[in-house]
Each structure stands twice: as structure tokens, then as C-alpha cells.
Amino acid sequence: MSDAWDDRKKALEEDYFRRKEQETIEKLRAQMAAEQQATSALQCPKCDGTLAELTFEGVQIDRCNKCNGVWLDAGELERLTKSEGGGGGWLSRLWGSSATD
């Protein structure tokens, strides 16, 4: 009878430590993912903020979380002006007025 209790206690103990190890592994994975994400984030050229990627008018743009500056990659400004169509939105007017001045 005592052997059955000892086996049961041993099984419960092993199960407990297996769960604790699994929890520790999951915490370490989450920590590693957070560290990897932090190191891969782009820094704002103007301030020490972090650039977050967001979609505007179907174009991926980068926006600073501190100064709210917007940064465009090569060709993104042209894609934004084309996405306005011929409607003469603010971006087209801004782009067109600088070309005539």
C-alpha cells in the first residue's frame, strides 16, 4: 500500500516540476521575443523615438512614437500622390506647388 502512495507522490511531483519547467520555458521565449523585437525596431532620425510601421492609403509608412514625424521610403511619396487620383488632395497640391515655385 505504501508503495502505491509513494508512486503517486512521485508522479505528482514529476508532473509539478514538468509544468514549472514548461512555464519557465514559455516566459523565456516571450522575453527573447520582446528583446528581439526591441532590437529590430528602427530609430527615428530626428529624435530618440521608435518608428512604428503603419499603413496609410495602402502604403507602408514609418511614424515616430515621440515626435510623430512621418518617414517615407523610396517611392512611397510617389505612390501616395498617385493614390489620390486627379482629385487634387492636399498631398498633390503640396507636391505641385513646390514644383512651380
Looking at the structure, tell me whether residues 47 and 94 fall in a common domain. yes
Check residue 1 and give its pLDDT.
58
Same domain, 33 and 48: no
Based on the fold, state whether residues 52 and 75 are members of the same structural domain: yes
One domain, residues 36 and 54: no
Percent of the chain, pLDDT > 70? 77
Whether 87 and 50 share a structural domain: yes
How many of the other CB atoms lie within 10 Å of CB of 75? 9
The mean predicted confidence, pLDDT, of the chain is 80
Q: Nine-digit cell at 68?
A: 510623430
- Decide: pTM greater than 0.75: no
Give the separation between CA 90 and CA 68, rounded to whole angstroms: 19
Distance from C-alpha of 101 to C-alpha of 95, rounded to nearest angstrom: 10
Name the DSSP class of 44. P
Q: Which residue has the higher pLDDT, 5 or 86?
A: 5
Give the C-alpha separation, 11 to 7, whole Å. Answer: 6
